[in-house]
Structure 1
Amino acid sequence: MYLTVYFNGQFWCGLIEIPSRQASASVYHYIFGPEPKTAEIFAFIYTILPQLIATTKDQDAQATLSPKKRISPKRMQRMLNQQKKQPVVSTKSQLLLQQQHLEKKAQTKKQQKEQKQQQKQQRFEQKQQKKYAKHRGH
């Protein structure tokens, strides 16, 4: 189970992801409101989260989970480090927004480069005209 607390621009939200062995995973969204303190997060985990999961709990999915094997400490540390390296963004809409932002950034950079090239070309042409005007004679 993963709990990600993030600020969406207006409120502090919690995104709870519960992976399963099947193709689907359970995802819950909770709005904290103002910035939650550590005690408020723990209170949410121990009181509200179990109620939230219980209301939408799928009995069949719970029955298919196998008992967990003991994981060696080194393997657990490697797994945690891999999860830390993964981006925090976890919803498709956030990924799409990020992709759009990167595309817009690339497009702006391309336009600025073209504009700079045009200005450079104009300055060169002005210099050439000035040079020809000087050598024309009277």
Structure 2
Amino acid sequence: MTLTIYYDGQFWIGVVEFHENERLKAYRYVFGTEPNDSEVLEFVNNRLLGIIHKSKQVGIEDKKKLKKKINPKRLQRKVAKEILNRGVSAKAQEAIKKEIEQRKLESKKLKKERNDAFKQRKWELKKQKAKQKHKGR
């Protein structure tokens, strides 16, 4: 699991990349103003698990090999290189776009259901009024 925090020109955004069952899931969180260490720590300790469990994201396939143990010096070089590499990975962006599309489809479906129910109620009221007019004569 990696957390990347970057500035997109307007807000500070955190992107969490999470590997589970050979699938990559990415979650986007908007911090707003520049987060200090305590805000980031609070996000990781309190909100992150809620965001991961609440999401119905399937993720994208990622067959990243897990290595047994990395030499500490090599790990330190890798971390330094990742710090210089600012931004989000292409796979994480793809996973976020996929989640956004999924949410869009769900909201479109809900909106259509609400609209159909509204039209049905309106039609039933119209029929009921027509019957009332005929009964009054």
Larger Rg: 1
State the TM-score, normalizing by the size of structure 2. Answer: 0.48
The normalised TM-score by structure 1 is 0.48
